[in-house]
Structure 1
């Protein structure tokens, strides 16, 4: 049960984003005892990939809980005189201006413990060594560890008061056609729309068809991304209007539409913490490591590089995510103590009557005749 966890781990990971999940897997693979928790009800944090119904549920939860903050001071009773607490944030502010218009398994395989909907109230720091020694969770349990990995959205405003974050503007669209004029119905389109105004940024557009299993047949899923200069809608709507036509009943009957029709759109701004140095955070203990969220890059190279760098700081003499052993080379406990079956007892007999020795060996619990 999540309210009755072991009290001692080697590594505690808070947040289930891509870099945190890679580090958790690597640490567990190298033999570290790993606890991986997330206050959210789903894996991935800001890296999560939702189904459409899951996305609608997330939007509803975001709108309902955006202004709700719950405070629980019971954990303060767990702080001793020679300790101090660094409270963690209970409200995620990494995604803003939401507007809607119409590696984790590997860690578990090697013994890591996962807990969703499990909040951590604070980090417990020793006043003398200035190192983090434990966390206190939502149940008031103190959990000790040597190393602590935290997604940056969990850090409080006091810890991040000197940090200057950049913002990313993003849009997710569902359309009824491709911007690429082709007869092929299976393609991934990537294009870059140059900036038109001073101070604005180029927009990257990625279009996925139904063969990628991201949308229904006859529709396309489109992602637009750029560095923010304003809100996401202000940054990206001009590109959307240039590439797509808003859907209306009149246009639905017109077969001569030149541009694909826009069926649904979501705009939001996301915080980019990929280039933040740990020196920018206030009073961060040396054994607390911060992982950033997604950046504006096309791939995930930065997340993998970040995970490997932090892993080498935690386990300097270990290989980073080595290949799993060959199943034929794995020796399970007790294999060496098993007695070899005599060859004569399993040799097929020409006699139609089954020998008693073979019957006993095949099923020891079956009584002999």
Structure 2
């Protein structure tokens, strides 16, 4: 979203320190890992910079398989886009084990090679990611640890890892300059509601008189730089946009 609306990225440049104005208690600039000074009016950072207490973790696994977990007469690879993503909630397989959410994507989603499937498994951490999720993987897929599962999809590649649960982190209460804001990382939810609400809250503090993510303007109302709205070029472009919308069904 930042790049879409004209944001500039300084790739591989982490922040090493903040320069503060003692009189106003505001951050006036930052120094990056290359020693470059970047002036700023506001500074938004992730919670890792303030040493947040990371108590809650998420266990995740990513698999590439050779077939779908869905039992169907037709192959999911050739069905419509509406069925190209499948979601299953796996109940706890034993006492003390977490419920696991599994999302499977076929190649029509452009996330994996044709003939393969990409599977994401997520749960709240009880132990390590491998301890939490490998029992589900060996029960639902054919792996080196479960070769007897001959009728199940075979795992071609897998990765287990733990990440911090951003929903369990408090972003308030830090003794920070007045124009420095903290945001948390991803959580275990399927959507991005938590991140969007947090982004809107920070946005309103920085730009209280502006709308957060306003709807895109009608293409016919866009005036291009250097165009006179009443000129033949401006009219021609608006007509082209109108035709594209009509051909695309609105």
Q: Which TM-score bucket, shorter chain as reference? A: 0.7 to 0.9
Aligned with residue 63 of structure 2, among 170, 173, 176: 173
1:107 matches 2:5: yes
Matched, 1:316 2:202: no
Pairing 1:286–2:178 present: yes
Unpaired segments ≥5 residues, structure 1: 1-102, 341-369
Give the whole-Å Cα distance in 2 for the aligned partners of 1:247 and 1:198: 25
Q: Aligned pair in 2 of structure 1 residues 116, 308: CA closer, same or farther (>3 Å)?
A: same
Alignment of 1:261-340 (within 5 A): 261-281=154-174, 283-331=175-223
* Residue 247 (structure 2) aligns with: none
Shift of 1:152: 2.4
Match of 1:366 in 2: none
Q: How does 1:182-197 map to 2 (within 5 A)?
A: 182-186=72-76, 187=83, 188-197=85-94
Give deviations 1:316-345, integer Å, cap 9, x for gaps: 111112233344434456656x999xxxxx
The 2-side partners of 1:226 and 1:292 are apart by: 18
Deviation track 1:219-248 (CA, whole Å, cap 9, x = no partner) reads: 111110001011100010000011011159
Residues of 2 paired with 1:327 and 1:118: CA distance?
A: 36
Q: Deviations over 1:50-77 (max 9, x none)?
A: xxxxxxxxxxxxxxxxxxxxxxxxxxxx
> Is 1:221 aligned with 2:111?
no
1:97 equivalent in structure 2: none
Contact 1:210 1:219 in 2 (8 A): yes
Distance 1:152 1:164 in 2: 9
Deviation at 1:198? 4.2
Q: 2:41 aligns with which of 136, 146, 150?
A: 146
Q: 1:197 to 1:113 in 2, by over 3 A?
A: same
CA displacement 1:257-314 (0-9 Å, x = unmatched): 2211111110000011223223354x22231111221110011122222211211111
Distance 1:185 1:280, change over 3 A: farther
**TM-score of the two chains, using structure 2 as the length reference:** 0.79
d(CA) in 1 for partners of 2:128, 2:173: 25
Contact 1:149–1:291 (CA under 8 A) maintained in structure 2: yes
Q: Please, which of 104, 108, 129 is the counterpart of residue 24 of structure 2? A: 129
Secondary structure of 1:205's partner?
strand
User: Is the CA contact 1:148–1:289 (under 8 Å) kept in the aligned structure 2?
Assistant: yes
Two-structure CA RMSD over aligned residues (Å): 2.7
Q: Is the 8 A contact 2:56 2:168 kept in 1?
A: no
Distance 1:286 1:199, change over 3 A: farther
- Report Cα offsets for 1:173-201 as digits up to 9, x if no partner: 11112111102323322111112444431
Change in CA separation of 1:236 and 1:331 when aligned onto 2, cut-off 3 Å: closer
- Give runs of aligned pairs for residues 32-181 of structure 1, distance below 5 A: 103-108=1-6, 112-153=7-48, 155=49, 159-160=50-51, 163-181=53-71
Q: Structure 1 CA distance, aligned partners of 2:134 and 2:169?
A: 29
